[in-house]
């Protein structure tokens, strides 16, 4: 997401030059690359040639609807994960009101993930159909599947009023994925707009990133720790420079949280 404005080749080169070992891949990224003529094999070769892998695929976002379009999206996300060997297919419901009972639907996703050898980190957001950590945790516990778990995004934590103590109270096996960014001192009136356009690099804002990372030190099942900064300001900058800044910010955050590489 941090380099969402970059073409695939530029993004891969920038991430590799900055010292990252993996990137996340959105459905839109994949479809744009395919529309530009990239084959799956060429994309895999590009990543391998730069020493990168795909760590997570974003986003299962329509599984709360019992329709054919939602099933096609689901098939595509699992296809992308299989193509690139990604271990995580992230799920959330940012845009829709659910038309089905979410607990059995998330459990169904997890059964499919178990069979595919991937996990389904579930993301809560202050907007959308899963607005709280408690709601997401209920769905994870109800699923009772090996692939079920939480996605902790530091922006969502801050804007839903969660602190490090809330994260520390989670079971060590509850969290599958962490996405790190910072928040502005004053919230925007539209949280969805802020989340998609106005995030800050770690260390530039007011979120307790170090505290949350320290609280996650006991986590036993983490598949991915990523910097995710959706920012119109960064979109307008050179991708290589943004990747370098993101790498420095991520390293400082991990060190401040007591993590060692």
| Cβ atoms < 10 Å from Cβ of 236 | 9
- 259 has pLDDT over 90: yes
pTM for the structure as a whole: 0.97
pLDDT at 99: 77
Rounded to whole angstroms, what are the CA distances from 88 to 24, 34, 83, 190, 233? 9, 21, 13, 29, 28
The band of 96, judged by pLDDT with boundaries at 50, 70 and 90, is confident
pLDDT at 139: 98
Distance from first CA to last CA of the chain, Å, rounded?
23
CA distance 231 to 240: 15
pLDDT at 130: 95
Residue 138 lies in a domain: yes
pLDDT at 261: 61
- State the chain's mean pLDDT as an integer: 97
- 250 has pLDDT over 70: yes
CA distance 22 to 38: 19
The band of 260, judged by pLDDT with boundaries at 50, 70 and 90, is confident
CATH assignment at residue 218: 3.20.20.150
Residue 3 lies in a domain: no
Q: Peptide bond before 59: cis, by omega within 30 degrees of 0?
A: yes
Q: What is the pLDDT of residues 97-131, one digit of tens each?
A: 777 799 999 999 999 999 999 999 999 999 989 99
Residue 169 lies in a domain: yes
List of E strands, the chain: 22-26, 53-60, 88-91, 120-123, 148-153, 175-180, 224-227
Q: What is the pLDDT of residues 127-152, one digit of tens each?
A: 989 999 999 999 999 999 999 999 99
Q: What is the pLDDT of residues 151-194, one digit of tens each?
A: 999 999 999 999 999 999 999 999 999 999 999 999 999 999 99
The residue among 113, 125, 88 whose CA lies nearest residue 221 is: 88
Residue 1 lies in a domain: no
pLDDT at 98: 75
The band of 240, judged by pLDDT with boundaries at 50, 70 and 90, is very high
Determine the structural domain holding residue 207 and report its residue range: 8-256
Rounded to whole angstroms, what are the CA distances from 192 to 24, 127, 141, 153, 198? 21, 7, 27, 14, 10
Residue 146 lies in a domain: yes
* Residues 230/156/202/247 CA torsion (nearest 10 deg): -60
Domain count, the chain: 1
- 54 has pLDDT over 70: yes
The residue among 90, 211, 91, 92 whose CA lies nearest residue 162 is: 211
The band of 69, judged by pLDDT with boundaries at 50, 70 and 90, is very high
Residue 2 lies in a domain: no
Residue 34 lies in a domain: yes
């Amino acid at each position: 997401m941090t380099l969402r404005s970059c073409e695939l080749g530029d993004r891969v080169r920038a991430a590799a030059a900055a010292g990252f070992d993996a990137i996340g891949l959105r459905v839109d990224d994949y479809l744009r690359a395919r529309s530009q003529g990239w084959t799956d094999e060429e994309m895999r070769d590009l990543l391998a040639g730069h020493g990168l892998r795909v760590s997570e695929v974003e986003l299962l976002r329509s599984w709360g609807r019992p329709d054919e379009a939602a099933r096609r999206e689901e098939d595509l996300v699992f296809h992308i994960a299989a193509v690139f060997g990604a271990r995580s297919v992230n799920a959330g419901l940012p845009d829709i009101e659910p038309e089905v009972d979410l607990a059995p639907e998330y459990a169904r996703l997890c059964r499919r993930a178990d069979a595919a050898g991937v996990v389904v980190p579930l993301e809560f957001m202050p907007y959308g159909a899963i607005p709280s950590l408690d709601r997401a945790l209920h769905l994870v516990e109800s699923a009772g599947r090996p692939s079920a778990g939480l996605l902790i995004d530091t922006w969502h934590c801050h804007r839903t009023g969660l602190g490090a103590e809330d994260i520390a109270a989670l079971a060590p096996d509850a969290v599958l994925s962490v996405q790190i960014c910072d928040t502005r001192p004053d919230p925007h009136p539209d949280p969805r707009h802020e989340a998609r356009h106005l995030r800050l690099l770690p260390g530039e804002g007011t979120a307790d990133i170090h505290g949350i990372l320290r609280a996650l030190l006991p986590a036993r099942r983490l598949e991915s720790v990523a910097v995710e900064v959706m920012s119109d300001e960064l979109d307008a900058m050179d991708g290589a420079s943004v990747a370098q800044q993101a790498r420095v910010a991520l390293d400082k955050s991990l060190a401040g949280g007591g993590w060692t590489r």
